[in-house]
């Protein structure tokens, strides 16, 4: 009896019809695609985007050129030289080269920074067409948004 | 009507239609396939070029047209170049014999919706559709490469095996209709009031399964199984020649769907002929019904592809020799017996 | 009939070698006679590179080994270093690690189900598996900001604490996964084509599997109950109640069933860990410059692919003298020839897929 039922099930393609029913049901289900240039997903608050340097509320740079990030970095992204101006309270970076092409987004520099000067930004667009767009000098480390995109790819990206 | 119109313009128009109609259907089919598969997988699929992405296949074809045409150094140039043409040609030629509807009367003249009306149209269409396998064999052989060769060998065995159940299933239809004329078969279905697909479901299922196998479609897409043979027999092709193979495959699917509709589902006849209350269905032109039915079977192709895994080579052959052919033979005997007793 | 044997190169750019693996196949028609995997196309010199990095700097690089299960690599390496340095990990941190590692197992197995089904030709399942995995990657993004190379476990604990909103989000995702799994199972489990392609293919007996050193789901599919989480518990795994799913035949179908059942068990473990999440620190106090006295330690965990182990040898500085990795994919791959012999060419893809290899881990 069980063998007969198995034969009938197999003869009338029950397994295949059940599969077809699943795909048909999903045909009408919700789609997960996010249509990118029109709709942009907001990354999570802790998202590890492009690391950026930040300033405090008064517009003063936060970085004090302590080179902790340079030491923490496993892939030698940083090349920092600091200098204390006459009468200034802190050292400031004279040179702050950061290489995007070496970065693994591990987050050690962000964790180790005593003044929270270097932080992850939510920027996830990292493509460019020129190699030198991947090298950031001190002032370029403060760029955000469209200016940052201009630096990365030399203004090739269409602004929607 | 002047002789010029009757003898020159109408035939030319028909020839253009026979080339354009499959091409348009191919474009629609490629779009349908990509969209439907995507929607079944929770994605959206191409929806940028044209309305809902309808023109995506055209954009792809334009792209392929400008691609470099690579001929491998060790390839057999003649066969390598001929085979895409052969595949495309046989698919398109078969459309000459596929009627699109009953003759239309415009004023005093009647316009037939087919190019060639042959008493053995069914045979010719089946024959032409199996010529395309030569293109596949030549293409795979001439590439002088291992993956295409394996794809071509698989294709030969598969198409040859599946011709038999196809033929047996078609024979039952010919038995009932007492004709091999495709128009006549539809007329007989109109006269008998029941479409052959409902009269002989086994024939239909056998024909459909073998048709899917003959068009090298999932779950029988072994000759071009992309996860095994990279791209099968057209691995070495590029540019427009690749597009030819691609389009021919889809044209073949359209052809097979047309055949299924004509043989088993009443061609251009509206459904529910006998029911008086649904007589308004007759107001819709037959050609629309025909297209709707074809689209259903094209959708079925895509639906199956999105659902099923791929057969292995030996089980594919086992399926046809141990199941389909005996089933088709038994079905044939039953139909013959019933026909004889009545 | 004359013996016609041809050599067939599969890869390094083949759609289903899961990366840049090259297989030298000797086939007679479609019957496979010999298989020789050729490795090294993804070799990055990881183990040598680690000798020039500090103990902490190595952690993000372990993400790049088995990139479908980066947290498991983090965990294995961190456990080895902690064992060597004698760092006591707080209980809460251990629970957080269990949650992360089991979520990673879910993600890895779901991706595997998709890849495997796609290799056999069921293309939709690939997308269903990835859709379910996407939810888990979103959790990782919420937790520490990265999705694939997560770097979420540090020496001494985890990188962040698990807070309330995240816990409820994980629970919501865990409720969604079984539904997705049910779709996949009704597409594949009973399907005649799927069964023909998997049942009895790539069989290996328990004894042979042990001889080849198979670990993970391929071993358990033969019926050998060997799971590091049960047999040599680490990171508080002995607190949780879960089963080790076992197969009987050791074929591709059983490996598929074992992995699907492991998904259900992982959901159970994560649920228990979230319920019993103890109070306390999520990270032990670890000196910023970690110097470890000379010594050597070896630690294994049950990664999604099998038993993953790290040997770390220290020499008193802040950098290891030598780190050696025992990668499950590498060891599982060597049974490929045995599994494939006499099968058809199409089955090589299914068998290779069923071993669940990741080339980042094989070539290091």
Task: Compare all CA atoms of chain B with the CA of A26 and give the residue at the minimum distance.
Answer: B40
Angle among Cα A78, A82, A86 to the nearest 5 degrees reads 165
B132 pLDDT exceeds 60? yes
- Residue C357, CB-side half-sphere exposure with 13 Å CA sphere: 28
Percent helix, strand and coil across chain C, each to the nearest 5: 50, 15, 35
Dihedral over Cα of B279, B281, B285, B286: its sign:
negative
Chain B, 20 to 59: residues with Cβ < 8 Å from chain A are: 36, 39-44
CA B195 to CA B186: how far, in whole Å?
9
pLDDT-based confidence at residue A158 (cuts at 50, 70, 90): low
The pLDDT of residue A160 is 47
C57 to chain A, any CB pair closer than 8 A? The answer is yes
Altogether, the residues listed in chain A come to a count of: 160
The pLDDT tens digits for B314-335 are 888 888 888 889 988 998 888 8
pTM attached to this predicted model = 0.87
B225 pLDDT exceeds 80? no
Give which of C279, C297, A27 is closest to B35, Cα–Cα.
Answer: A27
The pLDDT tens digits for A27-66 are 888 888 888 888 888 888 888 888 888 888 887 788 888 8
| Domains assigned to chain C | 5-363 (1.10.645.10)
Pairwise CB contact (< 8 Å): A26 & B36: no
Chain A residues touching residue C144 (CB < 8 angstroms)? 46, 48, 107
How many contacts (CB atoms, under 8 Å) link A and B? 32
Tell me the Cα Rg of chain B: 21
Chain C residues touching residue A108 (CB < 8 angstroms)? 56-57, 60
Which DSSP letter does residue A55 get? B
Q: Which helix (H) or strand (E) holds C326?
A: strand C320-326
Assign B329 to helix, strand or coil: helix
CA B323 to CA B210: how far, in whole Å?
12
Q: How large is the average pLDDT for residues C113-139?
A: 88
The pLDDT of residue C1 is 41
The pLDDT of residue A62 is 84
Q: How large is the average pLDDT for residues C175-197?
A: 87
Helix C164-188, helix A14-27: angle, nearest 10: 140
pLDDT-based confidence at residue C109 (cuts at 50, 70, 90): very high
B186-196 burial code (b ≥16 CB/10 A, e <16): bbbbeeeeebb
> Phi and psi at residue C300, in whole multiples of 5°?
-120, 150
Q: How large is the average pLDDT for residues B31-59?
A: 85
Q: Which helix (H) or strand (E) holds B82?
A: helix B77-94
Structure token pair of residue B139:
């293409």
The pLDDT tens digits for B84-114 are 888 888 888 888 888 877 777 776 777 777 7
Nearest 10 degrees: CA dihedral of B58, B63, B68, B69? -10
CA C198 to CA C185: how far, in whole Å?
14
The pLDDT tens digits for A71-114 are 888 888 888 888 888 877 788 888 888 888 888 888 888 888 88
Nearest Cα of chain B lies from the Cα of C259 at a distance, in angstroms, of: 19
CA A82 to CA A128: how far, in whole Å?
29
Pairwise CB contact (< 8 Å): C190 & A15: yes
pLDDT-based confidence at residue C258 (cuts at 50, 70, 90): very high
Pairwise CB contact (< 8 Å): C118 & B230: no
> Phi and psi at residue A24, in whole multiples of 5°?
-65, -40
Nearest to B303 among A23, A29, A35 (CB): A23
Q: How large is the average pLDDT for residues B265-294?
A: 76
Average pLDDT, chain C: 87
The pLDDT tens digits for C65-85 are 888 888 999 999 999 998 888
ipTM: 0.83
C205 Cβ neighbours under 8 A, 6+ residues apart: C222, C250
Pairwise CB contact (< 8 Å): C347 & B312: yes
The pLDDT tens digits for C191-212 are 888 888 888 888 888 888 899 8
Pairwise CB contact (< 8 Å): A46 & C160: yes
Nearest Cα of chain B lies from the Cα of A21 at a distance, in angstroms, of: 9
The pLDDT of residue A156 is 67
DSSP A64-125: ----HHHHH-SS--EEEEEEPPTT-SS-EEEEEEEEGGG-----HHHHH-TT--EEE-S---
Pairwise CB contact (< 8 Å): C118 & B227: yes
C23 pLDDT exceeds 50? yes
Average pLDDT, chain B: 82
The pLDDT tens digits for B153-162 are 888 888 888 8
Chain B residues touching residue A27 (CB < 8 angstroms)? 36, 39-40
C3 pLDDT exceeds 60? no
Chain A residues touching residue B303 (CB < 8 angstroms)? 20, 23-24
Q: How large is the average pLDDT for residues B3-23?
A: 79
Pairwise CB contact (< 8 Å): C60 & A74: yes
B304 to chain A, any CB pair closer than 8 A? The answer is yes
Q: How large is the average pLDDT for residues B53-66?
A: 85
C138-153 burial code (b ≥16 CB/10 A, e <16): ebbbbbbbbbebbbbb
The pLDDT tens digits for B133-184 are 888 888 888 888 888 888 888 888 888 888 889 888 888 888 888 888 888 8
Nearest to A23 among B40, B43, B44 (CB): B40
Nearest Cα of chain B lies from the Cα of A99 at a distance, in angstroms, of: 36
Angle among Cα C94, C96, C97 to the nearest 5 degrees reads 65
CA B331 to CA B206: how far, in whole Å?
10
> Phi and psi at residue C15, in whole multiples of 5°?
-60, -25
């Amino acid at each position: 009896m069980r063998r007969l039922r198995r034969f009938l099930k197999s003869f009338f393609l029950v397994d295949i019809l059940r599969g077809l029913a699943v795909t048909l049901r999903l045909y009408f289900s919700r789609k997960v695609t996010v249509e990118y240039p029109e709709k942009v997903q907001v990354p999570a608050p802790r998202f590890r985007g492009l690391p950026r340097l930040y300033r405090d509320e008064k517009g003063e740079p936060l970085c004090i050129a302590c080179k902790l990030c340079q030491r923490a970095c496993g892939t030698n992204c940083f090349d920092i030289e600091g200098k204390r101006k006459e009468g200034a309270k802190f050292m400031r970076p004279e040179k702050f080269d950061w290489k995007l092409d070496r970065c693994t987004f591990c987050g050690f520099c962000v964790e180790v920074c005593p003044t929270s000067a270097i932080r992850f930004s939510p920027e996830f667009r990292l493509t460019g067409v020129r190699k030198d767009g991947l090298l950031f000098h001190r002032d370029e480390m403060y760029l955000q948004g469209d200016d940052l995109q201009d630096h990365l790819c030399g203004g090739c990206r269409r602004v929607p | 009507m002047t002789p010029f119109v009757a003898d020159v313009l109408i035939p030319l128009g028909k020839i253009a239609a026979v080339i354009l109609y499959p091409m348009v259907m191919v474009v629609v089919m490629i779009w349908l396939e990509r969209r439907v598969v995507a929607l079944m997988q929770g994605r959206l699929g191409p929806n940028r070029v044209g309305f809902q992405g309808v023109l995506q296949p055209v954009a792809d074809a334009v792209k392929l047209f400008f691609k470099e045409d690579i001929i491998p150094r060790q390839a057999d140039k003649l066969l390598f170049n001929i085979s895409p043409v052969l595949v495309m040609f046989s698919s398109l030629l078969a459309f000459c014999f596929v009627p699109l509807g009953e003759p239309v009367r415009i004023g005093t003249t009647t316009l037939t919706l087919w190019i060639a009306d042959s008493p053995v149209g069914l045979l010719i269409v089946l024959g032409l559709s199996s010529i395309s396998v030569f293109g596949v064999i030549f293409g795979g052989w001439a590439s002088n490469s291992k993956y295409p060769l394996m794809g071509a060998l698989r294709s030969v065995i598969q198409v040859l095996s599946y011709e038999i159940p196809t033929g047996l299933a078609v024979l039952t239809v010919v038995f009932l209709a007492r004709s091999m004329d495709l128009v006549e078969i539809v007329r007989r279905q109109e006269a008998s009031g029941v479409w052959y697909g409902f009269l002989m479901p086994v024939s239909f299922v056998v024909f459909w399964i073998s048709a899917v196998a003959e068009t090298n479609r999932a779950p029988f897409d072994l000759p071009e199984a992309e996860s095994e043979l990279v791209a099968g027999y057209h691995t070495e092709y590029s540019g427009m020649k690749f597009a030819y193979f691609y389009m021919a495959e889809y044209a073949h699917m359209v052809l097979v769907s047309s055949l299924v509709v004509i043989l088993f589902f009443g061609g251009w006849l509206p459904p529910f002929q006998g029911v008086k209350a649904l007589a308004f269905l007759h107001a819709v032109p037959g050609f629309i019904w025909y297209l709707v039915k074809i689209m259903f079977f094209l959708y079925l192709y895509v639906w199956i592809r999105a659902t099923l895994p791929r057969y292995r080579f030996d089980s594919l052959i086992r399926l046809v020799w141990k199941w389909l052919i005996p089933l088709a033979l038994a079905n044939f005997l039953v139909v013959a017996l019933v026909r004889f007793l009545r | 009939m004359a013996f016609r044997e041809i050599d067939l190169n599969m890869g390094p750019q083949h759609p289903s070698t899961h990366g840049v693996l090259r297989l030298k196949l000797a086939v007679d028609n479609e019957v496979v006679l010999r298989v020789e995997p050729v490795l090294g196309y993804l070799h990055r010199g990881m183990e040598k590179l680690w000798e020039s990095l500090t103990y902490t700097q190595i952690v993000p690089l372990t993400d790049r080994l088995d990139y479908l299960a980066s947290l498991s690599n983090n965990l294995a390496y961190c456990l080895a270093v902690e064992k060597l340095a004698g760092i006591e990990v707080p209980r809460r941190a251990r629970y957080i690690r269990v949650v992360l590692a089991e979520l990673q197992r879910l993600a890895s197995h779901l991706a595997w189900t998709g890849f495997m089904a796609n290799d056999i030709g069921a293309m939709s399942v690939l997308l269903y598996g990835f859709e379910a995995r996407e939810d888990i990657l979103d959790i990782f993004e919420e937790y520490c900001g990265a999705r694939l190379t997560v770097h979420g476990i540090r020496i001494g604990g985890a990188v962040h604490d698990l807070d309330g909103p995240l816990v409820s989000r994980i629970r919501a995702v865990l409720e969604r996964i079984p539904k997705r799994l049910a779709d996949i199972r009704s597409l594949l489990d009973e399907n005649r084509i799927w069964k023909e392609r998997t049942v009895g293919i790539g069989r290996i007996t328990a004894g042979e599997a042990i001889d080849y050193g198979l670990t993970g789901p391929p071993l358990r599919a033969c019926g050998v109950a060997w799971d590091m989480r049960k047999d040599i518990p680490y990171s508080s795994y002995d607190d949780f109640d879960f089963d080790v799913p076992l197969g009987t035949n050791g074929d591709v179908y059983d490996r598929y069933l074992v992995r699907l059942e492991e998904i259900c068990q992982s959901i159970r473990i994560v649920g228990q860990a979230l319920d019993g999440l103890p109070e306390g620190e999520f990270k032990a106090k670890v000196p910023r410059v970690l110097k470890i006295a000379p010594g050597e330690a070896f630690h294994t965990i049950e990664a999604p692919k099998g038993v993953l182990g790290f040997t770390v040898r220290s020499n008193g500085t802040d950098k290891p003298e030598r780190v050696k990795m025992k990668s499950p994919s590498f060891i599982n791959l060597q049974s490929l020839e045995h599994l494939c012999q006499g099968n058809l060419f199409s089955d090589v893809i299914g068998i290779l897929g069923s071993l669940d290899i990741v080339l980042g881990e094989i070539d290091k």
